[in-house]
Structure 1
């Protein structure tokens, strides 16, 4: 049996506000979308610095200008 998580507002504001229930699947979808957006930004800005760091720690040790030059 699937469990449901429901958030219902109490008080006067609940009148006519529509459906406030959200399932666990909706929370998982929202969280995964948020996590994927953050991962995309981290990957976008972190890939080139990661390549430079790995290149600087390899043997033989190249200069930074050798890593950044296209030749």
Structure 2
């Protein structure tokens, strides 16, 4: 059997090629910005929490060494 090749375009296609796209509303822009900010805050929190704890621990009163902070004992 011979295979057929499809020439259909993949992805989103516009049926009204002459119409201009509507600009997003203020609520939609706020939602997009909030999602973007939440994603960035999640990454910053994920990679910054342990270094923050180490820095706070090294600035405490007894002044422990880094090896004392990282050891489980």
| Class of the TM-score when normalised by the shorter of the 2 chains | 0.7 to 0.9
The alignment covers a number of residue pairs equal to 57
Q: TM-score, normalised by structure 1?
A: 0.73
Structure 2 residues without counterparts, runs of 5 or longer: 1-16
Segments ≥4 residues shifted beyond 6 Å: none
> Among residues 19, 25, 28, which one is paired with 1:26 in the alignment?
28
Whole-angstrom distance in 1 between the partners of 2:55 and 2:26: 41
Rg: which structure is higher?
Answer: 2
- Structure number with greater CO (CA < 8 Å, separation at least 6) is 1
RMSD over aligned CA atoms reads 1.5
